[in-house]
Structures are given as structure tokens and as C-alpha cells.
Structure 1
Amino acid sequence: MTAAVSAICSAILLLAAGFHIYWGFGGRMAAGVALPQRQDGSPVIENAAFGAIAVGLIMTLLFLLVLARTGVVRLPVPQAWLTAGIALWAIVFTVRALSWSRYVGLFKQVRTTRFARYDTLLYSPLCLVLGLGFFYLALADSAP
């Protein structure tokens, strides 16, 4: 079961990392639904290229963290630190998914924008899957 959870989390992380890096370098595909929007459709965040690249790199590092936690790769870090990192990110992804914020999360206030629809149907559920998957990996037996 750990291998399946690791594979699902890894696939989500790599896909999301790729899209964020693509957007950060000016990619336009799906860019209209990449940022939270106000009621009038204007983006909440302006000029987010650096942030998109940063998020993409963080997701790539999280991919490595998952691989290290499950023993696929070895990092010069104690297993307890890997477990703590996985647990911390489990909380981050779960909070992101279940957020009561204005623009993101399953309980967001602004629900009529294109971003909000994608957030409800795709982004928040994927964050919830990552959060639950990371919780599972944090609680699973350590890799050999």
C-alpha cells in the first residue's frame, strides 16, 4: 500500500511542479485558472512568475522527500527528519485543501470565478489527496 500511496503522491507532485515551473517561465496553457481571482475575475496575485517557480521547486523537493521516505532514494538525513517533514507537509496540504480563506480551499468564500471552479474540482481535492497520502506515509513503517 505504501508503494501505491507514494506513486500517487509522486505523480501529483511532478505534474504540479511541471505546471508551476512552466507558468513561471511564461507558459500560457491553463494560466487563466492558475491564480486566485477576485469576484470581477482580476487576479489576486500580480506578476507571480517567481512564486510559480518557487512553488514548482518546492514540489520537486517534496517529490524527493517522498522518494526518500519510502526508501527509493537515500538522502543524508535521519529517517526521523524525513518523517517529520512528511508530517509537516501533510498538515500544510490538508489545511490548504480545507481552508476557510477567501479565495482557496473547499470552504472558500469566492466561488464564482474560473479559478474557484478549478480549485473546487481539482486543486483542493488534489491537495487533500496529498495531505492524506503524506499522513499515511508519515505513519507507515520506515523504509529499510
Structure 2
Amino acid sequence: MEVISLILAIIFIFLSGLHLYWALFGLKDPASVLPADTDGSLKMRPGKLGTILVALFLAFFASIYLNKVLNFFHFDGLQYISTGIGILFLLRSIGDFKYVGFFKSIKGTRFSTMDQRYYAPLALVVSLLILALELWG
């Protein structure tokens, strides 16, 4: 189960670094990473602070799974926090039924293509890894 914890930590460290990079240097192609309508208008425009907050949350998630290997802090509720993270990513993979997730209705945009191929499957894999970790770990 330590391998699953390390895989999750690496995923979250990478995603945290990516969000930090975007906050510092901006997005090169926002239409690929932000939900957009069929006319190309972005549905959200997170600022630097919002993007940094997402990066910090992802770094916190990484620390939860690194802790399962390194045991640098002890807290009885870590299993519940981990399960909550898994539920969060499962909900992300299901989506909002309009712009994100497997069941989105707005299709044909660059974001929807990237979401269908990469973002939603990654969220589902992360949630399944967390489920496996918490059920059998």
C-alpha cells in the first residue's frame, strides 16, 4: 500500500507544481484547461490567488499520502480526510453534468476533449486508488 501512497503523492505534487506554475507564469492556452462554452467563452477565470489556493490544497493532499509512508505526523482523522479527498475526486470525475466530468453536456470544445481524455479519467483513477488504499491499506 506504500506504493499506492507514493503514486498518489507524486500525482498531487505534480498537480500542485503545475498550478503554482500557472499562478506565477500564466496559462499559455486557457481554453485547454478551463471550461468553456461552445462559443469559446471561458466559464471561469481563476485569479492568481485562487490558483495558488488550489496548489496549496493539492500540496496538502500530497502530504497526507506522503505521511502514510513517512509517518511525519500522527492524527487519528487522516483516514477520514483521505476518504474525503477520494470522494472529492470521484465527484470531479462525474462532473457537473454541463462543463466537466464524464457526464458533461457541453462537448466540442478543447477543454471538453482534454477533460474526456485526461482530466476526468485521472480524477477517477485517483479516487479509485484512494478507495483501494483506504479499504485495504
Report the TM-score, using the length of structure 2 for normalisation: 0.90
| Equivalent position of 1:14 in the other structure | 13
Give the drift of 1:49: 2.3
Counterpart CA distance in 2 for 1:84 and 1:28 is: 34
> Unaligned stretches of 5+ in structure 1?
none
Of 84, 90, 96, which residue of structure 2 is paired with 1:88? 84
Which structure's residues are more often helix, by fraction?
2
Counterpart CA distance in 1 for 2:123 and 2:46 is: 24
Counterpart CA distance in 2 for 1:8 and 1:30 is: 28
| Equivalent position of 2:112 in the other structure | 116
Counterpart CA distance in 1 for 2:131 and 2:29 is: 30
Of 126, 129, 137, which residue of structure 2 is paired with 1:133? 129
Tell me how large the CA RMSD over aligned residues is: 1.6
Q: Secondary structure at the match of 1:120?
A: helix
Give the drift of 1:6: 1.6
Give the drift of 1:47: 4.3
Code of the residue aligned with 2:36 in structure 1: it is Q
> Unaligned stretches of 5+ in structure 2?
none
The answer to whether the 8 A contact 1:90-1:134 is kept is: yes
Counterpart CA distance in 2 for 1:131 and 1:4 is: 15
The answer to whether the 8 A contact 1:5-1:133 is kept is: yes
- Percent of pairs with identical residues: 28
Give the drift of 1:127: 0.5
Quickly say closer, same or farther: Cα 1:11–1:31, change in 2 above 3 A: farther
